[in-house]
């Protein structure tokens, strides 16, 4: 039961920074398998317009195991961080997202890598 409560807490934390309408709009835009584009998603959900500090707070809410990194397993479920009905990313979407963000090649996304990815043009 703790896991479910943690998820609700994380979603509430995200809603402190993001508007529910923007979250829904972003999730609707990537509903179809294979349609996830991190740049489009970040813009629609409102992350791109946030300060680096607030983006890092969102990262912490997405980092399911609080390791300081978003690993490939966590990345697959990233849309569920924004809403319970968010779909899982496909393996191809997960790998593309990881490859775009993982600048140091360690196989995971650090907080600074995430912030840079969000604000990339």
Helix, coil or strand: residue 1: coil
What is the rounded distance in angstroms from the CA atom of residue 14 to the CA atom of residue 82?
7
Annotated binding site for Ca(2+): 63, 65, 67, 69, 74, 102, 104, 106, 108, 113
Q: Once rounded to an integer, what is the mean pLDDT over residues 83-97? A: 95
* C-alpha distances out from residue 66 to 25, 42, 69, 83, 112, Å: 27, 21, 7, 19, 15
Is the per-residue pLDDT at 109 higher than 50? yes
The Cβ of residue 85 has, within 10 Å, a number of other Cβ atoms equal to 10
For 54-70, the pLDDT digits (tens) are 999 999 988 989 999 99
Q: Pick out the residues of the known binding site.
A: 63, 65, 67, 69, 74, 102, 104, 106, 108, 113
The three-point CA angle 35-23-69 to 5° equals 75
Residue 10 banded pLDDT, cuts 50, 70, 90:
low
Mean of per-residue pLDDT scores for the chain: 89
């Amino acid at each position: 039961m703790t896991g479910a409560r943690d998820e609700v807490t994380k979603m509430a934390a995200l809603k402190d920074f993001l508007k529910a309408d923007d979250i829904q709009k972003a999730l609707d835009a990537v509903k179809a398998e294979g349609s996830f584009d991190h740049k489009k998603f970040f813009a629609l959900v409102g992350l791109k317009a946030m300060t680096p500090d607030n983006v890092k707070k969102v990262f912490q809410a997405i980092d399911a195991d609080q390791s300081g990194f978003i690993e490939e397993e966590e990345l697959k479920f990233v849309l569920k961080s924004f809403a319970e009905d968010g779909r899982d990313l496909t393996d191809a979407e997960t790998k593309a997202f990881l490859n775009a963000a993982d600048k140091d090649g360690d196989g995971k996304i650090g907080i600074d890598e995430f912030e840079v990815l969000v604000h990339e043009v």
